[in-house]
Structure 1
Amino acid sequence: MRTSVLSDWLAQRLERGGGQPLYRQLHHLLQQAILSRELPAGSKVPSSRLLAAELGIARNTVTQVYEQLVLEGYVHSASGRGTFVADSAPDEIVGASGVEHTPLVLSALSPAALAPLAPLTPLAPLPPAVTQTLSQRGTRLVAGAGVSKRQGGAFMPGVPDVTRFPARVWARLHNKYWRRLRPDLLTYAPGGGLALLRHVLADYLRTSRSVRCAPEQIIITTGIHQSVDLAVRLLTDPGDLIWTEDPCYWGVRSVLHVSGLETRPIAVDDEGINPSPDDLQHPPRMMLVTPSHQYPLGMVMSLARRRMLLEYARQQQCWIIEDDYDSEYRYGSRPLASLQGLDTAGQVIYVGSFGKTLFPGLRMGYLVAPEGLAERFATASAELYREGQLLQQAMLAEFIAEGHFTSHIRKMRALYGQRRGALLEAVAQRYGTALPTLGGDAGLHLVLQLPPGVDDRAVAMAALERNIVVRALSGYYAEASRAAPGLLMGYACVPDEEIAPAFSVLADALDVTLKGIR
C-alpha cells in the first residue's frame, strides 16, 4: 500500500481544531483501520517522519500513536526494517449480510473508498446475544436500584454536612502517618482490620451504645452494605427466609435480593417491627431490624418489642442483624442502648458505619460478630474482600483515641438539631398541622406525610425539576399496595439560611399535586 493513499485517507478524516486532540483521532483511525483490515496484517506503515510530513502534523504526535499501537499489540517494530501491522486478525471478516468485507485500503484507489466520513465513527452496537446477558437477579437489582445521581443539597436524605468535618485534624494525622511510613500499613489488612482501630472502637461502642464486645469481635468493613453481605453469606443459604421491616432501606433490600434469600416484609407500628401471628408461624433464618431509629419512619423499638424479638430468636434459633442507623443523632434525649446489649444468647450481629458521623467517602464501617463466630467472620472477610485501607484505619483509630470523634459528633448533633428545627418550622408555617411529620426526634431526615392518593414519586420528580432532591416514601415499601405516600427530607447537608427558601420551592411543587386531589 502506497504511503500517499494512507495519508490521503487519514487527512480527509482528521478534524483540525476539532473537539478531539489530533493524537486521539489518529490513534482511533489507525486502530479502526487495522481492526477492519483497512490495513491488512503484515503491511508496513509509513515512518513517523514521512507520515507526519504528509499530514502536516508534529512528528512527536505520530511517534506517540505508533508507540501506543505497539503497546496495544496492533503493530510491531522490526529493527532496521520499520513498523508492520500485527498478524492478529482473523483470516476473513464476514459482515451481517454474509458477504466478506473487502479492506478499504486494498481498494483505496476507487472514489467511493475516499468518501468523507465522520472522523470518529462510533463502534457498532454489540449484538443482542452479548448485551442481553444480565442474570435474573442482576436485572432485578438494576431495575430496582434506588441510588441517586445527586449526593447533596436540599433535601437529600442521609447525607451529612461534610464541610464541617475537622479537615485540619485529619490532614495532620494523614501527614504524620505518611512521614513515618510503615510498610505494614501499605499491604492487605489482616482479618478483621487493624488491631488498634478494633480496640478503640470496642471501647467506644461499650461506652456509647452499650454493645457487649471484645476487640476481636469487631470486623472492619466498607460500610453497612458489606457488613450485611458478609453476615448473609456466612449465616444463610440461598432460599432461606429473612424478615425485613416494611418499609426499609432500599440499599440493604437490594443486597438481600441478590443473595438469593426469600424476603418477607414485616409491617412496623409505633413500637417497631410487628410480626403478625401468621408471620410468627414461619420462623426466618435471619431478621434485619433498625431498633434505635427505624429507617425511614424513625420510630424507636420499645423495650417490650426488643425482648419479644430476642426471645423469639432464641427459641427459633434465628439470627438478628441490628443496623444501628443514625443512633448518635438524637435530639432532646441521650442515644439509646443497643439491642445487642440485651442479647444473652449471642444471636445479634451489630452493624454500624462512619458514613454519617464523619463523611460518606471514608467508606468504613464495622460489624460486631457473636463471640463464637468472630474468628470465622474475620477469615471470611479477608478471603472475600481482601481489605486494605490500613493507613485510613490507623488515622481513624488515632482520631477516635484523641477524642476528636466524640467532639465532632457533639458539634454536629447541635448543628443538625438546629437545622431540624428550621425545617419543622418551615413545614408548620406553610401547612400548619395539615401535613404531619415523622421521625424528627433523631437522624438526619424527617418524613412529610402526604394525604392518601398523592403520587409521591411524581412530587419527587417535580421537585427535582426545581433542583430540590427528596425521596418518595412509597419506594421504601416492598409492595405498592401497602405503601403510604410521603417525602423523605434530609436537612443535615442544607445550610441554615437555605432551608426555608428551599422548602418553599418544594411546597410549590407539592401544592400542584395537592390541588389536584382536593
Structure 2
Amino acid sequence: MDTIILSDWLHARLDRAHAEPMYRQVLDLMQQAILTGQLAPGTKLPSSRTLAADLEIARNTVLHVYDQLTAEGYVISSTGSGTYVADTRPQEARPPVDNVGPKKPCALSKRGARLIGQAGVSPKQWGAFMPGVPDVAEFPARTWSRLQARLWKRASPELLTYAPGGGYRPLRRALSDYLRVARSVKCSPDQIVITTGIHQSIDLAVRLLTDFGDRAWVEEPCYWGVRSVLQSSGLTLVPIPVDGEGLNPLERDMREPPRLALVTPSHQYPLGMVMSLARRRSLLEFARQHDVWIIEDDYDSEFRYGSRPLASLQGLDEAGQVIYVGSLGKMLFPGLRMGYMVVPEQLVDTFRTGIAELYREGQLMQQAVLTEFIMDGYLTSHVRRMRTLYGERRQLLIDSITAHFGDTLDVMGDEAGLHLVLGLPDGTDDRAVAAAALDAGVVTRPLANYYVDQASARPGLMLGYACVPNEQIGPAFETLANVIEKAIAPADARRHRKVASR
C-alpha cells in the first residue's frame, strides 16, 4: 500500500458519525495496516499536513497519531527525512541471514505433557452430578457482603498489602480454635499457614521437604489433582492399595520407606472408607522410625451423616511428622480459594518464609472477612445447615439408585462428604459411560481416572449430590441410569430392571 492508497484506504474506513474520536479511529486503522503488512516496513508515510488535508481532519489529530505510533514503536521519525514504518516483524519472519533453516515448533516438557495428558479438570463445574462442589446458592451471601462492607469502610493499609508470613493472625487464631474443637487438631495459631487451597498447601510442602526423584506414597485410588501436583514436582509415586481400613502398605512397600505419604484418613478419596485406629497408629510409628512426612488431606470431614466428624490423624501425632491440610471452599464456596495447613512446630518459620518467597500471598481483606464470619458464629451455623441439606440429597440419590438398580450395583463412600461412588459391573468402560452421560447433560467422573495402576482399577462413577437441588436428583439420575443400562450387557440390564421392580 503506497501513501496515496493509504489516504484512500483510511478515508473509506473512517466513520465520522461514530462516537469514537477521530484520533482513535485513525490510530487503530494505521496500527492494523502495519501489523497485517499492508503498510510494509520502510514505507514512508505522508506528511501530517498532507494526510490531514486528504482525510479532511485537523492536522493536530494526525500529529497526535504519528506521535503515538512513534512511542509504541510502529514508526520511526527522522527530522528532515520523514516518518517511516518500522520493521516490527518477528525475527523468524524476516529474510534469513544464514542457512540455519527453520526453527522447530515449541514442545511441552515431559512433565508438562504428562500433566496435560492426564488432566482430570472438567469443563463443567456445576450441576448433576459434579463431585466435590458445594451448593453455593445456599451460601449466606448477604451476611458475607455486610461483613465485607463493614471492613472496607475502615480498611487499614495493613489489609491492603501482602500477607505477613502465615496469613492474617486473627484468622489463624480463629481457625486454631475451630480445628481443636471440630477436628481434634493439636495446634497453636502460629502453626497455621493460610494458603489458596489444598493444591497450594501440598505444593509448598513438596517443594520444601522433598527433592526430585524422592518416593511418595499415594493411596490407590487417589485424587487426580494432588497426584498431578506430586508428579509435576518430579516425585516418584508409589501407589499403595486401600481396603476397608484405609491405607494398606505391603511388606515390600515398607522395606523402602518414602520421603512422604499423602493420605485421606477421615474419608478416603474417592472410595470413602475411614482409616482404622490400628492403621493410623501403625502409619505414625512407621513415619517416626523412618523420618517420613505425612500429609493429611482432610478435605470434607465436616460433612458426616449419622455420626460426629472423626478425629484427625494429626491429633494422634506425637513426633511432629504430620502436616494437616484443609480447605474452606467446600464449607463455604470454591471461588473463595482459601485453605490452610497446620505444620509441626519445628517447621513454622520454614513454611512462613517459603510461602512468602514463592507466592507473595495477599487476600488479607478476604481473610479478615472470614475471621468475622467465624467469630460471629456464621461458619458453624452454615456448616450445620448444609450438613442437613446434603444429608437429604444424599438419601434422595441413594433412593434413586435403589429404585433403578436395586442392590445390584454397589454404593460406596456415602457416609460422609459431598459424593458417593456407584460401582459398575466388571468389564464396564466407565470412561465411556461418563462421556456418554456428559453428552446427555449429566456430569460424572469415571473411577478409573483415580488409579495410578490401571490394571487394578475397578469401574465406577463418582456422583456428587451437594450442588443438585432436591427436585432435580431423580430426573438427572433417570438420565444417567439410561446411559448406564446401554453400556452394560443387555442381559444385565434386564436383570437390574427386574430386581428394581420387586
> Given the two structures, how large is their TM-score scaled by the length of structure 1?
0.86
Q: Which residue of 1 aligns with 2:214?
A: 240
Q: Is the 8 A contact 2:267 2:301 kept in 1?
A: yes
Matched AA of 1:440:
D
Q: Tell me the CA shift for residue 11 of structure 1.
A: 7.3
CA distance in 2, matches of 1:58, 1:511: 74
Say if 2:122 is the partner of 1:131: no
Offset from partner CA, 1:134-161 (integer Å, 9 cap, x none): 2111111111111111110110000100
Matched AA of 2:326:
G
Q: Which residue of 1 aligns with 2:496?
A: none
Change in 2 beyond 3 A, CA 1:64/1:334? farther
Size of the alignment, in residue pairs?
Answer: 486
Say if 2:1 is the partner of 1:27: no
Q: Is the 8 A contact 2:131 2:419 kept in 1?
A: yes
Q: Is the 8 A contact 2:26 2:65 kept in 1?
A: no
Q: Is the 8 A contact 1:27 1:69 kept in 2?
A: no
SS in structure 2 of the partner of residue 475 of structure 1: helix
Q: Is the 8 A contact 1:351 1:367 kept in 2?
A: yes
Change in 2 beyond 3 A, CA 1:14/1:321? farther
Change in 2 beyond 3 A, CA 1:53/1:242? same
Offset from partner CA, 1:77-118 (integer Å, 9 cap, x none): 78999865346669996458999xxxxxxxxxxxxxxxxxxx
Give 5+ residue unaligned stretches, structure 2: 17-21, 493-502
SS in structure 1 of the partner of residue 304 of structure 2: coil
Q: Which residue of 1 aligns with 2:3?
A: 3
Q: Which residue of 2 aligns with 1:104?
A: none
Q: Is the 8 A contact 1:321 1:349 kept in 2?
A: yes
Matched AA of 2:74:
Y
CA distance in 2, matches of 1:24, 1:196: 53
Q: Tell me the CA shift for residue 317 of structure 1.
A: 1.2
SS in structure 1 of the partner of residue 488 of structure 2: helix
Change in 2 beyond 3 A, CA 1:187/1:4? same
Say if 2:442 is the partner of 1:468: yes
Q: Tell me the CA shift for residue 40 of structure 1.
A: 2.7
SS in structure 2 of the partner of residue 267 of structure 1: strand
Q: Tell me the CA shift for residue 41 of structure 1.
A: 3.7
SS in structure 1 of the partner of residue 237 of structure 2: strand
CA distance in 2, matches of 1:238, 1:38: 52
Aligned match for 1:342, one of 296, 310, 316: 316
Matched AA of 1:129:
K
Change in 2 beyond 3 A, CA 1:495/1:4? same
Q: Which residue of 1 aligns with 2:45?
A: 44
Matched AA of 2:34:
A
Say if 2:160 is the partner of 1:186: yes
Q: Is the 8 A contact 2:447 2:459 kept in 1?
A: yes
Between 41-50 and 164-173, report the one with greater CA deviation: 41-50
Change in 2 beyond 3 A, CA 1:284/1:89? closer
> Given the two structures, how large is their TM-score scaled by the length of structure 2?
0.88
Aligned match for 1:257, one of 219, 231, 234: 231
SS in structure 2 of the partner of residue 44 of structure 1: coil
Q: Which residue of 1 aligns with 2:192?
A: 218
CA distance in 1, matches of 2:356, 2:390: 37
Give 5+ residue unaligned stretches, structure 1: 17-21, 100-126
Change in 2 beyond 3 A, CA 1:6/1:365? same
Q: Which residue of 2 aligns with 1:113?
A: none
CA distance in 1, matches of 2:434, 2:91: 56
CA distance in 1, matches of 2:451, 2:57: 61
Q: Is the 8 A contact 1:355 1:364 kept in 2?
A: yes
Change in 2 beyond 3 A, CA 1:42/1:25? closer
Aligned match for 2:365, one of 361, 368, 391: 391
CA distance in 1, matches of 2:229, 2:49: 53
Q: Which residue of 1 aligns with 2:387?
A: 413
Q: Which residue of 2 aligns with 1:294?
A: 268
Q: Is the 8 A contact 2:31 2:74 kept in 1?
A: no
SS in structure 2 of the partner of residue 131 of structure 1: coil
Q: Is the 8 A contact 1:42 1:87 kept in 2?
A: no
CA distance in 2, matches of 1:512, 1:386: 51
SS in structure 2 of the partner of residue 350 of structure 1: strand
Between 24-33 and 244-253, report the one with greater CA deviation: 24-33
Matched AA of 1:217:
Q
Q: Is the 8 A contact 1:328 1:409 kept in 2?
A: yes
SS in structure 2 of the partner of residue 366 of structure 1: strand
**Aligned-pair Cα RMSD in Å:** 3.4
Q: Which residue of 1 aligns with 2:495?
A: none
Q: Report percent identity of matched pairs.
A: 60
Change in 2 beyond 3 A, CA 1:152/1:57? farther
Q: Which residue of 1 aligns with 2:500?
A: none
